[in-house]
Protein backbone atom coordinates (compact mmCIF):
# COMPACT_ATOMS: atom_id res chain seq x y z
CA UNK A 1 0.00 0.00 0.00
CA UNK A 2 1.37 3.43 -0.95
CA UNK A 3 1.77 6.21 1.60
CA UNK A 4 -1.01 8.13 -0.16
CA UNK A 5 -3.34 5.18 0.27
CA UNK A 6 -2.31 4.84 3.92
CA UNK A 7 -3.22 8.44 4.80
CA UNK A 8 -6.34 8.35 2.60
CA UNK A 9 -7.66 5.20 4.28
CA UNK A 10 -6.75 6.48 7.76
CA UNK A 11 -8.60 9.72 7.03
CA UNK A 12 -11.80 7.91 6.05
CA UNK A 13 -11.59 5.70 9.13
CA UNK A 14 -10.88 8.58 11.49
CA UNK A 15 -13.31 11.20 10.23
CA UNK A 16 -15.98 9.10 8.54
CA UNK A 17 -15.75 10.66 5.09
CA UNK A 18 -13.33 10.80 2.15
CA UNK A 19 -10.55 13.38 2.07
CA UNK A 20 -10.66 15.94 -0.72
CA UNK A 21 -6.92 15.84 -1.48
CA UNK A 22 -3.48 14.35 -0.73
CA UNK A 23 -0.57 16.76 -0.35
CA UNK A 24 3.17 16.19 -0.03
CA UNK A 25 6.30 17.96 1.22
CA UNK A 26 9.68 16.35 0.45
CA UNK A 27 12.72 16.06 2.68
CA UNK A 28 16.15 17.15 1.48
CA UNK A 29 19.86 16.48 1.55
CA UNK A 30 22.58 19.12 1.21
CA UNK A 31 25.13 18.04 -1.38
CA UNK A 32 27.65 20.78 -0.49
CA UNK A 33 27.70 24.07 1.40
CA UNK A 34 27.63 23.54 5.19
CA UNK A 35 27.71 26.30 7.82
CA UNK A 36 27.42 28.82 4.99
CA UNK A 37 23.68 29.51 5.31
CA UNK A 38 23.84 31.65 8.46
CA UNK A 39 26.75 33.54 6.89
CA UNK A 40 24.51 34.71 4.01
CA UNK A 41 26.30 32.26 1.73
CA UNK A 42 25.56 29.51 -0.79
CA UNK A 43 24.20 25.98 -0.36
CA UNK A 44 23.46 23.23 -2.86
CA UNK A 45 20.66 20.94 -1.62
CA UNK A 46 18.31 18.57 -3.43
CA UNK A 47 14.75 17.58 -2.55
CA UNK A 48 14.48 13.80 -2.18
CA UNK A 49 11.85 11.07 -2.41
CA UNK A 50 11.34 10.88 1.34
CA UNK A 51 8.73 13.23 2.74
CA UNK A 52 5.44 13.96 4.48
CA UNK A 53 2.01 13.05 3.10
CA UNK A 54 -1.22 14.66 4.29
CA UNK A 55 -4.79 13.63 3.51
CA UNK A 56 -7.06 16.60 4.24
CA UNK A 57 -10.40 18.32 3.73
CA UNK A 58 -11.58 21.84 4.41
CA UNK A 59 -14.05 22.48 7.24
CA UNK A 60 -16.81 25.06 7.46
CA UNK A 61 -15.53 26.40 10.79
CA UNK A 62 -12.15 27.41 12.30
CA UNK A 63 -11.41 24.04 13.95
CA UNK A 64 -8.36 21.95 13.13
CA UNK A 65 -8.44 18.21 13.73
CA UNK A 66 -5.19 16.36 13.03
CA UNK A 67 -4.03 12.76 13.42
CA UNK A 68 -0.30 11.90 13.29
CA UNK A 69 0.05 8.25 12.28
CA UNK A 70 3.79 8.12 13.01
CA UNK A 71 3.53 9.56 16.53
CA UNK A 72 1.83 6.56 18.08
CA UNK A 73 -1.44 7.61 16.47
CA UNK A 74 -1.61 10.78 18.56
CA UNK A 75 -4.20 13.38 17.66
CA UNK A 76 -4.95 16.99 18.46
CA UNK A 77 -7.86 19.36 18.03
CA UNK A 78 -7.74 23.13 18.39
CA UNK A 79 -9.14 26.39 17.06
CA UNK A 80 -7.23 28.57 14.62
CA UNK A 81 -8.00 31.42 17.02
CA UNK A 82 -6.47 29.67 20.03
CA UNK A 83 -3.17 28.12 18.94
CA UNK A 84 -0.87 27.54 21.91
CA UNK A 85 2.47 25.76 22.36
CA UNK A 86 1.96 22.10 23.27
CA UNK A 87 4.50 20.89 25.82
CA UNK A 88 3.34 17.27 25.56
CA UNK A 89 3.15 16.73 21.80
CA UNK A 90 6.04 18.48 20.06
CA UNK A 91 4.84 17.51 16.59
CA UNK A 92 1.69 19.62 17.10
CA UNK A 93 3.86 22.75 17.36
CA UNK A 94 5.08 22.37 13.78
CA UNK A 95 1.44 22.28 12.69
CA UNK A 96 0.34 25.18 14.88
CA UNK A 97 3.42 27.28 14.15
CA UNK A 98 2.96 26.87 10.39
CA UNK A 99 -0.70 27.85 10.63
CA UNK A 100 0.14 30.94 12.70
CA UNK A 101 2.75 32.02 10.16
CA UNK A 102 0.24 31.52 7.34
CA UNK A 103 -2.43 33.54 9.16
CA UNK A 104 -0.11 36.54 9.46
CA UNK A 105 -0.78 36.97 5.73
CA UNK A 106 -4.11 35.14 5.35
CA UNK A 107 -6.01 35.57 8.64
CA UNK A 108 -9.39 34.36 7.40
CA UNK A 109 -8.62 30.78 6.45
CA UNK A 110 -11.01 27.98 7.35
CA UNK A 111 -10.15 24.98 9.48
CA UNK A 112 -9.12 21.53 8.22
CA UNK A 113 -9.25 17.86 9.06
CA UNK A 114 -5.88 16.20 8.43
CA UNK A 115 -4.10 12.85 8.68
CA UNK A 116 -0.30 13.08 8.53
CA UNK A 117 2.31 10.41 7.82
CA UNK A 118 5.93 10.67 6.75
CA UNK A 119 8.89 8.48 5.86
CA UNK A 120 11.71 10.97 6.39
CA UNK A 121 14.07 9.13 8.77
CA UNK A 122 14.10 11.03 12.06
CA UNK A 123 17.52 12.18 13.22
CA UNK A 124 19.15 11.48 9.86
CA UNK A 125 19.57 15.15 8.90
CA UNK A 126 17.08 14.94 6.03
CA UNK A 127 14.86 17.66 7.45
CA UNK A 128 11.68 15.97 8.56
CA UNK A 129 10.59 19.21 10.24
CA UNK A 130 10.77 21.36 7.08
CA UNK A 131 9.05 18.58 5.15
CA UNK A 132 6.16 18.70 7.64
CA UNK A 133 5.96 22.51 7.66
CA UNK A 134 5.88 22.78 3.88
CA UNK A 135 3.35 19.95 3.59
CA UNK A 136 1.06 21.73 6.09
CA UNK A 137 1.35 25.04 4.25
CA UNK A 138 0.73 23.40 0.87
CA UNK A 139 -2.32 21.59 2.24
CA UNK A 140 -4.00 24.55 3.88
CA UNK A 141 -3.13 26.97 1.06
CA UNK A 142 -4.52 24.62 -1.60
CA UNK A 143 -7.73 23.88 0.28
CA UNK A 144 -8.33 27.58 0.96
CA UNK A 145 -7.41 28.58 -2.63
CA UNK A 146 -4.66 30.90 -1.43
CA UNK A 147 -2.17 32.40 -3.96
CA UNK A 148 0.82 31.22 -1.90
CA UNK A 149 4.12 30.74 -3.74
CA UNK A 150 7.01 28.54 -2.69
CA UNK A 151 9.40 31.25 -1.53
CA UNK A 152 6.74 32.82 0.73
CA UNK A 153 5.83 29.36 2.04
CA UNK A 154 9.49 28.70 2.84
CA UNK A 155 9.73 31.94 4.81
CA UNK A 156 6.58 30.98 6.69
CA UNK A 157 8.03 27.57 7.53
CA UNK A 158 11.20 29.20 8.79
CA UNK A 159 9.12 31.66 10.81
CA UNK A 160 7.25 28.76 12.40
CA UNK A 161 10.45 27.00 13.38
CA UNK A 162 12.31 30.12 14.57
CA UNK A 163 9.53 31.89 16.41
CA UNK A 164 7.13 29.17 17.57
CA UNK A 165 8.98 25.84 17.75
CA UNK A 166 12.14 27.57 18.94
CA UNK A 167 14.81 26.31 16.54
CA UNK A 168 17.05 28.97 14.96
CA UNK A 169 17.30 27.32 11.52
CA UNK A 170 18.21 28.95 8.22
CA UNK A 171 16.04 29.04 5.11
CA UNK A 172 17.61 26.21 3.11
CA UNK A 173 15.48 23.30 4.33
CA UNK A 174 12.12 24.96 3.75
CA UNK A 175 13.05 26.48 0.40
CA UNK A 176 14.31 23.27 -1.19
CA UNK A 177 11.27 21.38 0.15
CA UNK A 178 9.01 23.99 -1.42
CA UNK A 179 10.87 24.72 -4.66
CA UNK A 180 13.07 21.76 -5.55
CA UNK A 181 12.98 20.54 -9.15
CA UNK A 182 12.78 16.86 -10.04
CA UNK A 183 16.09 15.58 -11.43
CA UNK A 184 17.93 18.64 -10.12
CA UNK A 185 19.76 20.12 -7.17
CA UNK A 186 19.53 23.83 -6.34
CA UNK A 187 22.25 26.41 -5.79
CA UNK A 188 20.61 28.74 -3.30
CA UNK A 189 21.82 32.21 -2.37
CA UNK A 190 20.80 32.41 1.30
CA UNK A 191 20.92 36.21 1.26
CA UNK A 192 18.80 37.03 -1.78
CA UNK A 193 16.79 33.76 -1.79
CA UNK A 194 17.44 33.49 -5.51
CA UNK A 195 18.38 30.07 -6.83
CA UNK A 196 19.54 28.17 -9.88
CA UNK A 197 18.52 24.60 -10.71
CA UNK A 198 21.27 22.24 -11.81
CA UNK A 199 20.77 18.72 -13.19
CA UNK A 200 22.05 15.81 -11.15
CA UNK A 201 23.70 13.45 -13.66
CA UNK A 202 21.29 10.53 -14.18
CA UNK A 203 24.04 7.94 -13.77
CA UNK A 204 24.74 9.12 -10.19
CA UNK A 205 22.71 7.99 -7.18
CA UNK A 206 22.35 10.00 -3.97
CA UNK A 207 23.43 7.72 -1.12
CA UNK A 208 23.02 8.91 2.47
CA UNK A 209 24.61 7.08 5.38
CA UNK A 210 23.60 7.93 8.93
CA UNK A 211 26.58 7.33 11.22
CA UNK A 212 24.21 6.96 14.20
CA UNK A 213 26.66 8.89 16.35
CA UNK A 214 24.75 10.66 19.12
CA UNK A 215 25.09 14.38 18.52
CA UNK A 216 25.48 15.59 22.09
CA UNK A 217 27.56 18.70 21.34
CA UNK A 218 25.67 19.97 18.35
CA UNK A 219 23.63 22.77 19.93
CA UNK A 220 26.34 24.45 22.02
CA UNK A 221 29.06 23.98 19.41
CA UNK A 222 26.79 25.18 16.61
CA UNK A 223 26.12 28.39 18.52
CA UNK A 224 29.84 28.80 19.20
CA UNK A 225 30.70 28.40 15.52
CA UNK A 226 28.05 30.90 14.53
CA UNK A 227 29.34 33.44 17.06
CA UNK A 228 32.91 32.98 15.85
CA UNK A 229 31.86 33.67 12.26
CA UNK A 230 29.90 36.76 13.22
CA UNK A 231 32.84 38.07 15.26
CA UNK A 232 35.20 37.77 12.28
CA UNK A 233 32.76 39.61 10.02
CA UNK A 234 32.40 42.37 12.60
CA UNK A 235 36.17 42.62 13.15
CA UNK A 236 36.76 42.97 9.42
CA UNK A 237 33.81 45.37 9.07
CA UNK A 238 31.72 43.23 6.73
CA UNK A 239 27.98 42.43 6.97
CA UNK A 240 28.76 38.69 6.85
CA UNK A 241 31.53 36.29 5.86
CA UNK A 242 29.75 36.06 2.51
CA UNK A 243 31.25 39.48 1.75
CA UNK A 244 34.87 38.37 2.21
CA UNK A 245 37.18 36.83 -0.38
CA UNK A 246 40.03 34.55 0.57
CA UNK A 247 42.38 37.38 -0.43
CA UNK A 248 40.61 39.70 2.05
CA UNK A 249 41.00 37.11 4.77
CA UNK A 250 44.71 36.55 4.12
CA UNK A 251 45.38 40.28 4.02
CA UNK A 252 43.79 40.71 7.46
CA UNK A 253 45.02 37.48 9.05
CA UNK A 254 46.99 39.32 11.75
CA UNK A 255 43.78 40.77 13.16
CA UNK A 256 42.44 37.30 13.94
CA UNK A 257 43.40 34.45 16.24
CA UNK A 258 44.11 31.10 14.59
CA UNK A 259 40.73 29.54 15.37
CA UNK A 260 38.76 32.50 14.07
CA UNK A 261 40.90 32.58 10.92
CA UNK A 262 40.24 28.90 10.22
CA UNK A 263 36.50 29.20 10.84
CA UNK A 264 36.31 32.05 8.34
CA UNK A 265 38.51 30.22 5.85
CA UNK A 266 36.09 27.29 5.83
CA UNK A 267 33.06 29.48 5.13
CA UNK A 268 34.73 31.52 2.40
CA UNK A 269 36.15 28.49 0.60
CA UNK A 270 32.93 26.50 1.06
CA UNK A 271 30.98 29.26 -0.69
CA UNK A 272 33.41 28.99 -3.59
CA UNK A 273 33.07 25.19 -3.61
CA UNK A 274 29.27 25.36 -3.71
CA UNK A 275 29.36 27.59 -6.77
CA UNK A 276 32.07 25.48 -8.40
CA UNK A 277 30.00 22.34 -7.80
CA UNK A 278 27.18 23.90 -9.81
CA UNK A 279 29.56 24.12 -12.75
CA UNK A 280 30.89 20.58 -12.20
CA UNK A 281 27.37 19.15 -12.23
CA UNK A 282 26.40 21.10 -15.34
CA UNK A 283 29.46 19.67 -17.12
CA UNK A 284 29.04 16.21 -15.55
CA UNK A 285 32.66 16.53 -14.44
CA UNK A 286 32.88 13.83 -11.78
CA UNK A 287 36.62 14.31 -11.28
CA UNK A 288 36.03 17.96 -10.31
CA UNK A 289 33.00 16.94 -8.23
CA UNK A 290 35.10 14.41 -6.34
CA UNK A 291 37.78 17.00 -5.62
CA UNK A 292 35.29 19.61 -4.41
CA UNK A 293 33.40 17.24 -2.09
CA UNK A 294 36.65 15.92 -0.62
CA UNK A 295 37.92 19.46 -0.05
CA UNK A 296 34.64 20.34 1.64
CA UNK A 297 34.94 17.43 4.05
CA UNK A 298 38.58 18.20 4.79
CA UNK A 299 37.69 21.83 5.50
CA UNK A 300 34.85 20.82 7.82
CA UNK A 301 37.26 18.49 9.61
CA UNK A 302 40.32 20.73 9.87
CA UNK A 303 39.10 24.34 9.74
CA UNK A 304 35.58 24.12 11.16
CA UNK A 305 36.24 21.07 13.34
CA UNK A 306 32.75 19.56 13.20
CA UNK A 307 33.42 16.03 11.93
CA UNK A 308 33.92 12.91 14.05
CA UNK A 309 36.19 9.91 13.62
CA UNK A 310 33.13 7.95 12.49
CA UNK A 311 32.21 10.48 9.79
CA UNK A 312 35.84 10.64 8.67
CA UNK A 313 35.94 6.85 8.53
CA UNK A 314 32.78 6.59 6.44
CA UNK A 315 34.05 9.19 3.97
CA UNK A 316 37.38 7.38 3.67
CA UNK A 317 35.91 3.94 3.01
CA UNK A 318 33.39 5.26 0.47
CA UNK A 319 36.01 7.37 -1.28
CA UNK A 320 38.12 4.25 -1.78
CA UNK A 321 35.25 2.72 -3.75
CA UNK A 322 34.01 5.60 -5.88
CA UNK A 323 37.21 7.66 -6.26
CA UNK A 324 36.92 10.21 -9.08
CA UNK A 325 33.71 8.67 -10.43
CA UNK A 326 31.66 10.53 -7.80
CA UNK A 327 32.00 12.37 -4.49
CA UNK A 328 31.48 11.93 -0.75
CA UNK A 329 31.52 14.23 2.28
CA UNK A 330 29.85 14.78 5.63
CA UNK A 331 26.63 16.77 5.41
CA UNK A 332 24.74 18.86 7.92
CA UNK A 333 25.77 20.44 11.19
CA UNK A 334 28.34 17.81 12.12
CA UNK A 335 29.32 16.19 15.45
CA UNK A 336 27.61 13.06 14.13
CA UNK A 337 24.81 12.72 11.63
CA UNK A 338 25.30 11.77 8.01
CA UNK A 339 27.59 11.57 5.04
CA UNK A 340 26.28 12.02 1.51
CA UNK A 341 27.72 10.39 -1.59
CA UNK A 342 27.05 10.91 -5.26
CA UNK A 343 27.90 7.43 -6.47
CA UNK A 344 27.73 5.77 -9.89
CA UNK A 345 24.81 3.38 -10.03
CA UNK A 346 27.08 0.41 -10.70
CA UNK A 347 29.01 1.08 -7.46
CA UNK A 348 26.08 1.63 -5.09
CA UNK A 349 25.85 -2.03 -4.07
CA UNK A 350 29.58 -2.09 -3.34
CA UNK A 351 29.22 1.02 -1.19
CA UNK A 352 26.33 -0.63 0.64
CA UNK A 353 28.29 -3.84 1.23
CA UNK A 354 31.47 -2.16 2.46
CA UNK A 355 29.70 0.30 4.76
CA UNK A 356 27.45 -2.44 6.17
CA UNK A 357 30.40 -4.68 7.06
CA UNK A 358 33.38 -2.40 7.71
CA UNK A 359 31.75 0.46 9.61
CA UNK A 360 30.42 -1.76 12.43
CA UNK A 361 33.80 -3.53 12.64
CA UNK A 362 35.74 -0.29 12.94
CA UNK A 363 33.39 1.79 15.08
CA UNK A 364 30.93 -0.59 16.77
CA UNK A 365 27.90 1.17 15.31
CA UNK A 366 25.31 0.07 12.76
CA UNK A 367 24.78 2.57 9.93
CA UNK A 368 21.49 3.36 8.24
CA UNK A 369 21.84 3.57 4.47
CA UNK A 370 19.38 5.34 2.17
CA UNK A 371 19.53 5.38 -1.60
CA UNK A 372 17.54 8.42 -2.73
CA UNK A 373 16.44 10.09 -5.90
CA UNK A 374 15.60 13.72 -6.48
CA UNK A 375 11.99 14.85 -6.17
CA UNK A 376 9.90 17.94 -6.97
CA UNK A 377 9.16 20.54 -4.30
CA UNK A 378 5.65 20.97 -2.95
CA UNK A 379 5.13 24.32 -4.72
CA UNK A 380 7.08 23.49 -7.89
CA UNK A 381 4.82 23.32 -10.93
Residue-by-residue DSSP string for 218-237? HHHHHHHHHHHHHHHHHHTT
pLDDT computed for residue 21 by the predictor: 96
CATH code for position 68: 3.30.230.10
Instruction: Looking at the chain, list the stretches that DSSP marks H as alpha helix, in order from N- to C-terminal side.
Output: 3-15, 90-103, 128-143, 150-160, 172-179, 218-235, 246-251, 258-282, 286-302, 309-322, 348-363
Residue 379 lies in a domain: no
148 with 255, same domain?
no
121 with 54, same domain?
yes
State how far the alpha carbon of 96 is from the alpha carbons of 66, 67, 89, 102, 132, in Å.
11, 13, 11, 10, 11
Domain count, the chain: 2
Instruction: Please give the average per-residue pLDDT across 316-320, as a whole number.
Output: 98
Which of 144, 173, 199 is the endpoint of a domain? Answer: 199
Residue 377 lies in a domain: no
223 with 187, same domain?
no
Nearest to 53 by CA among 87, 8, 18, 95: 8
Which of 199, 232, 264 is the endpoint of a domain? Answer: 199
What's the mean per-residue pLDDT of the chain?
Answer: 94
CATH code for position 295: 3.30.70.890
Instruction: Please give the average per-residue pLDDT across 352-373, as a whole number.
Output: 96
- Answer positive or negative: Cα dihedral of 303, 311, 122, 6: positive
Tell me the helix, strand and coil percentages in the chain, rounded to 5.
45, 20, 30
Q: C-alpha angle with apex 335: 329 to 338, nearest 5 degrees?
A: 40
Hey, which residues are catalytic here? 173
Per residue in 235-270, pLDDT (tens digit) is: 999 999 999 999 999 999 999 999 999 999 999 999
Which of 151, 184, 199 is the endpoint of a domain? Answer: 199
Instruction: Please give the average per-residue pLDDT across 57-84, as a whole number.
Output: 96
Per residue in 75-111, pLDDT (tens digit) is: 999 999 999 999 999 999 999 999 999 999 999 999 9
Residue 222: pLDDT band (50, 70, 90) is confident
Residue 216: pLDDT band (50, 70, 90) is low
219 with 194, same domain?
no
Residue 378 lies in a domain: no
Domain that holds residue 265: 204-372
Amino acid sequence: MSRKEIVENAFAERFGYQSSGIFHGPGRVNLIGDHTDYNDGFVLPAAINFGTDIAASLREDRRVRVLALDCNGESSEFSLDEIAFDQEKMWVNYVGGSLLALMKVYPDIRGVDMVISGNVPLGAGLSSSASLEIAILKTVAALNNLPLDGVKAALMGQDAENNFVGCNCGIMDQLISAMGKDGHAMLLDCRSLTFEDVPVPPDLEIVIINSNVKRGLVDSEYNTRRQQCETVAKTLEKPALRDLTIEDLEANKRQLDDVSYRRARHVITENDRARDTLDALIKNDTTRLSTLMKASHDSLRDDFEVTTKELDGLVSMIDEIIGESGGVRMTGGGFGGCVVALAPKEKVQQVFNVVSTEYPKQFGLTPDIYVCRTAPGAFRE
